[in-house]
Amino acid sequence: MSNYALPSEWTRQDAVMLTWPHSATDWAPMLDEVEQVYRQLAKEIASREQLVVICHDARIKARVQAIAQELQLPAKQLHLVEAPCNDTWARDHGPITVLDEEGSPCLLDFTFTAWGDKFAANLDNDINQQLFQADCIADIPKKRIDLVLEGGGIESDGKGSLLVTKKCLLNPNRNPQLNQQQIEQQLCQHLGMQRVLWLEHGYLAGDDTDAHIDTLVRFAPNDTLVYVSCDDPADEHFNELQAMAQELAELTTLDGRPYHRIALPWPAAKFDAEGERLPASYANYLIINGAVLVPTYHDSQDSVALAQIQRAYPDHQVVGVHCLPLIHQYGSLHCVSMQLPAGVLKSSL
């Protein structure tokens, strides 16, 4: 795999993959609310690129077709793949795509265990193998890899650097037989990385991914890091996120220069009906062709977050997507989506 490498997420895409929510998932109590988020997401994606939707069964497939017609999504933009699923976190059960030097893709199917066997994941772990057989997928290399890894746990700058958190990738609930050096070796081998940058600090209360990097820090063009920051000393996250910001300040690019850093604001604490804090993060945005879709939470800091992300992606249109329903299951916009780079689909636009 050494001639393949994990691209940045602003690399040209064919499509984004979503796994549609249904009544047999944890979304059941608020299915209508969460489906509204998926509708907006589908509309924004399909206006700029193709959309691949994993549908739990024939009934969900028919429902998504009806919604697509209602939203007037172009038929040529939509690919529906029937595959049973436990849940809808496409970022973590979806394929990770690496590109060779000519830009040709290879689809990687890592092992998904629902963040260390916290939940059932048997169906989700089989989705990629069914996706690989779908009519819309090009005849490209596909590889199954015996390593537990989720897409939300890794960030690539497209230049050979991978950013991860120790809390997640070194958690004994993932790959207990491997030490840090061995995990790093596998990441560099499979993802074509020159180095792995490990963060010690950073977390979100309510998060059950063991501190996925995509809730905390994201790479952006021009050697930029976009990260969540907390300016409230009374908040439980204050010390930990201050320490994370200091770690980021000490990181350098491969050629030894400090990264540009853009801080995201801290939204007011959000809680569920039982009073448990929910992991609201502006860092959990989705980059698509020509746009960045940013989660908003009906919060006074929403507009500040949109402006900061616009600074980080000056060549993209920044679009807010209301995501308060999503954090009730402890994820947000990036978590429910997986980009498929150019060359993955048979019919590239």
pLDDT digits (tens, 9 = 90+) for 117-161: 999 999 999 999 999 999 999 999 999 999 999 999 999 999 999
Give the whole-number percent of the chain exceeding pLDDT 70.
99
- Structural domain includes residue 346: no
Supply 41's token pair: 């997401």
> How many contiguous H segments (helices) and E segments (strands) does the chain have?
9, 19
pLDDT at 11 over 70: yes
In a 3-state reduction of DSSP, which class is residue 143? strand
- Structural domain includes residue 349: no
The confidence band for 348, taking pLDDT boundaries of 50, 70 and 90, is low
The confidence band for 349, taking pLDDT boundaries of 50, 70 and 90, is very low
- Structural domain includes residue 159: yes
- Structural domain includes residue 348: no
Phi-psi sector, 290: left (phi>0), alpha (psi -120 to 50), beta: left
pLDDT at 265 over 50: yes
pLDDT at 116 over 50: yes
pLDDT at 48 over 60: yes
Average pLDDT over the chain, rounded to an integer: 97
Instruction: Please state, in angstroms and rounded to a whole number, the distance separating the CA atoms of residues 237 and 217.
Output: 15
pLDDT at 212 over 80: yes
- Quickly count: other Cβ atoms within 10 Å of residue 257's Cβ: 9
pLDDT at 2 over 70: no
Give the DSSP letter string of 8-55.
PTTS-EEEEEEE---TTSTTGGGHHHHHHHHHHHHHHHHTTSEEEEEE
pLDDT at 65 over 90: yes
CATH of the domain at 208: 3.75.10.10
Residues in the chain: 349
The residue segments making up the domain with residue 335 are 4-341
In a 3-state reduction of DSSP, which class is residue 222? coil
What residues pair up with 321 in beta bridges, in sequence order?
295
Supply 39's token pair: 């509708």
pLDDT digits (tens, 9 = 90+) for 300-313: 999 999 999 999 99
- Structural domain includes residue 207: yes
pLDDT at 1 over 90: no
Torsions phi, psi for 265 (to 5 deg): -70, 170
- Structural domain includes residue 244: yes
What total number of domains does the chain contain? 1
- Quickly count: other Cβ atoms within 10 Å of residue 102's Cβ: 7
Mean pLDDT for 37-52 is 98
Query: At which residue do the structure tokens 């949109």 appear?
Result: 306
pLDDT (0 to 100) of residue 347: 72
